[in-house]
Amino acid sequence: MDLITGMTMFTRGMHYLPDGASTIGWLGKAIFLVVGIFWLVMLVHCLRRKFKVSMDKLAWMLVLVFLPAIGAFVYLFDILKPKK
């Protein structure tokens, strides 16, 4: 494998995948797709939302970027839950 460019998959053809990449299966790929779309929706919501303090937006953006799946669920339950 070319460690600098990572282009081995393209030089050997698209049928070549590293070990473990092909064992995920269609269910795992579907789960990754759903979580990715959910993360993207939460990211767009955070970008469009007006926060009371402008630093809150920056903090939530950092959480969503550096902890994508976990941050999206935390954002969902913390920001979008109904306040009592």
Q: What's the burial of 73, exposed, middle or buried (CB within 10 Å: 0-12/13-18/19+)?
A: middle
At residue 4, the pLDDT reads 57
User: Across all residues in the chain, what is the average pLDDT?
Assistant: 80
Q: Residue 70 above 90 pLDDT?
A: yes
Threshold 0.95, pTM exceeds: no
**End-to-end CA, the chain:** 56
Tens of pLDDT, residues 23-46? 667 788 888 899 999 999 999 999
Structural domain spans, the chain: 8-79
